[in-house]
Amino acid sequence: MEISELGEFGLIDRLTKSIAFKNPSTILGVGDDAAVLDYGDREVLVTADLLLEGVHFDLRYVPLKHLGYKSAVVNFSDIYAMGGTPRQILVSLGVSSRFTVEHIEELYAGIRLACDVYGVDLVGGDTSASVTGLVINITCLGDVEKGKAWKRSGAQPTDLICVSGDLGAAYMGLQLLERENTVAAQSDKDFQPDFAGKEYILERQLKPEARRDVVEALRKENANPTSMIDVSDGLSSELLHLCKNSNVGCRVYEDKIPIDFQTALMAEEFNMNLVTAAMNGGEDYELLFTVPLVEKEKIDNIKGVSIIGYVTKPELGAMLVSRDSSEIQIKAQGWNSLS
Amino acid sequence: MEISELGEFGLIDRLTKSIAFKNPSTILGVGDDAAVLDYGDREVLVTADLLLEGVHFDLRYVPLKHLGYKSAVVNFSDIYAMGGTPRQILVSLGVSSRFTVEHIEELYAGIRLACDVYGVDLVGGDTSASVTGLVINITCLGDVEKGKAWKRSGAQPTDLICVSGDLGAAYMGLQLLERENTVAAQSDKDFQPDFAGKEYILERQLKPEARRDVVEALRKENANPTSMIDVSDGLSSELLHLCKNSNVGCRVYEDKIPIDFQTALMAEEFNMNLVTAAMNGGEDYELLFTVPLVEKEKIDNIKGVSIIGYVTKPELGAMLVSRDSSEIQIKAQGWNSLS
């Protein structure tokens, strides 16, 4: 169906009808000048992410439903990285004329699936024509106990540096998708990409998850992260953010960086440096954080969290310690669309 | 200066440094995964607007500073239309390579001027490259006393329908800008558009204001609007929203619709129907609201608010009553980028 058959308000009605609220903080959702929310005595967290076709995603190999899911999850990840719980999102969409109602429903199906999985309410947004590509801006609100947000600015020398999950997989998944897409474009139409044994890195790229489980485990252990950030632009970039905001340095050990074997195999196949991929790949949506040294045992109790180094005084700089114990200055070579 | 010289984080630093917070509800602003806000025991309002080059604005005749100002103000208008006070915004920008750092600073100067005028804090957002045109998404948060938000859904039969200011001027300003732009394109480079005597309609298009004063006056008079919406897509469209959300009908009198004389003169010059322009023009950012009949005196006390009709039972439909007392069904012919 052509979107023009429904118009803006018809499309919004169709996309947002049957939304049932999951959070008591959601008082009024889609359909007024603004949504109305009540957070009681908790603090409000708010973050926004802009995703543009041709810059952040390529619809030749990203299904719209996956794109919707990922667009929402990357915002939830920012709320978790503050130690909070995502509660509501607003979705702004700019849609060019090549999209049908069914396309937008696919995208929304992904967004709504993510909302269901993470217990988030869709409460508003804006829907508009676009003369160019697809534009998605998602704003996410969440809450946290007063004064308990985990910022980027509290890391102290001797703190342990921790990261959840593994790194570099989403980046290698992207390399694989781009290669197969190029091959497909040059092959006859019966070409079938071979993704066998590479499901994990593909899923990391196409359908990442936010680490709610890690935040919950940290709260359960009564751990007190002194700083936290989510890994969206690459470990190097995020380490430098923590160091800058906390006015500290760091030592991170190359051999401690968690990497999945599919990531390693793929890097070998592409003849790429594995550590570079893990340090600069981006889109991992893992949590990078620091805890006081005395809390090492609490971290050891949490499955899937690795201690990769420690915080130093600022004058010692931010260094990667290689396998042969030489120190290499960490530089932000990760994702930066404006460089 | 090329944006690539600064990169994303350098640009954000440059645009957001020296931001001093004006609201006690702003706890933490730009520079973390999310902003942190504390609204005490008040309800939170949140709204988002997506503005796309070629759809919502044309940079051939809209200065970037004006565009920034307007982008922020249209969001404040949504918060006022709920009876709230705007407190914070997040700005997501997609910037194509033809823009320099100075261009983006101009845009930001307009956004920050609007924030200063309306007492709003800029607390976050996202900045990215765009392969196409300029993309702006602004999310605005505000607050309101618990249970006191003015929704679209409370209008009752016999309520008076009121509108602030005058209508159609922004639309006529746009017609004028487009005409002069077309003439300029066909003339030699010394062509100077003649805007004398048309300053008001130009300002309404290029630098609209949100009606904070009307909300304050209503609160001061202890008025109790039963419904409210801001006029962004045109009076017809907004009347139908109020009728639909409140399940009522309406009678609006053609001769009561407030129109400035510059708007009327311009409509004559363009040989356009004046009422059509006022009903469907859009971008007025005036407040359309209903109050119980018994509050007529309160409305009479507020300068610049016109009573244009009354609310009826739903089965009587939404009608415009013309000067010769005939009834014409109101249809949404205003701005709808997706039709």
pLDDT tens by residue, B143-161: 999 999 999 999 999 999 9
Confidence (pLDDT) at B117? 97
Pairing of strands B249-253, B305-312: antiparallel
pLDDT in tens, A78-102: 999 999 999 999 999 999 888 999 9
Over the stretch B94-119, which tens digit does the pLDDT of each residue have?
Answer: 998 889 999 999 999 999 999 999 99
* E-only strand ranges, B24-120: 26-28, 35-37, 43-52, 85-95
Please name the member of A34, A131, A139 whose beta carbon is closest to the beta carbon of B90. Answer: A139
* Alpha carbons B90 and B133: distance in angstroms, whole number: 20
* pLDDT value of position A301: 96
Is residue A29 within 8 Å of B149, Cβ to Cβ?
Answer: no
Cβ–Cβ of A135/B50 closer than 8 Å?
Answer: yes
Checking DSSP bridges between strand A135-144 and strand A43-52, what pairing results, if any?
A: antiparallel
B207 neighbors B226 (Cβ within 8 angstroms): no
Integer angstrom CA distances of residue B311 from B37, B247, B305: 39, 10, 17
Q: Which residues of chain A have pLDDT under 70?
A: 334-339
Q: How confident is the model at residue B190 (pLDDT cuts 50, 70, 90)?
A: confident
Task: Tell me: pLDDT of B335 over 70.
Answer: no
Q: Name the DSSP class of A110.
A: H
Q: CA of B91 to nearest chain A CA: how many angstroms apart?
A: 8
In contact, B120 and B83? CB cutoff 8 Å:
no
For residue A319, what are the contacts with CB-CB under 8 A and spacing of at least 6?
A: A249, A250, A251, A252, A327, A328, A329, A330
Model pLDDT, residue B337: 67
Please tell me the pTM assigned to this model: 0.94
Please state the φ and ψ torsions of residue B206, each to the nearest 5 degrees.
-90, -30
B142 to chain A, any CB pair closer than 8 A? The answer is: yes
pLDDT tens digits for A281-303?
999 999 999 999 999 999 999 99
Subunit contact A90:B127, Cβ cutoff 8 A: no
The set of residues, in sequence order, having a beta carbon less than 8 Å from that of A103 and lying 6+ positions away, is: A64
Judged by CB atoms closer than 8 Å, whether chains meet at B90 and A47 is answered as yes
B-interface mutation test, from A5, A45, A50, A211, most B Cβ less than 10 A away:
A50
Q: B299-304: which pairs have CB atoms within 8 A and are 24 or more residues apart?
A: B299/B160, B299/B162, B299/B221, B299/B223, B301/B217, B301/B221, B302/B214, B302/B217, B302/B218, B302/B221, B302/B223, B303/B217, B304/B164, B304/B165, B304/B214
Pick from A78-82, B176-180, B318-322: least confident: B176-180
Burial class (CB in 10 A: 0-12, 13-18, 19+), A2: exposed
For residue A302, the model assigns a pLDDT of: 97
Cβ–Cβ gap A338/B47 under 8 Å: no
Residue type, position A72, single letter: A
Residues 6 or more apart in contact with residue B261 via CB below 8 angstroms = none
User: Any chain A CB within 8 A of the CB of B47?
Assistant: yes
What pLDDT digit, counting tens, does each position of B4-42 carry? 888 888 888 888 888 889 999 999 999 899 999 999 999
Interface of A with B in 49-68 (CB under 8 A): 49-50, 52-56
Q: What pLDDT does B234 receive?
A: 94
| Distance, CA of B151 to CA of B167 (rounded, Å) | 22
Nearest by CB to residue B37, choosing from A35, A44, A55, is A44
Structure ipTM over 0.95, yes or no: no
Alpha carbons B253 and B256: distance in angstroms, whole number? 5
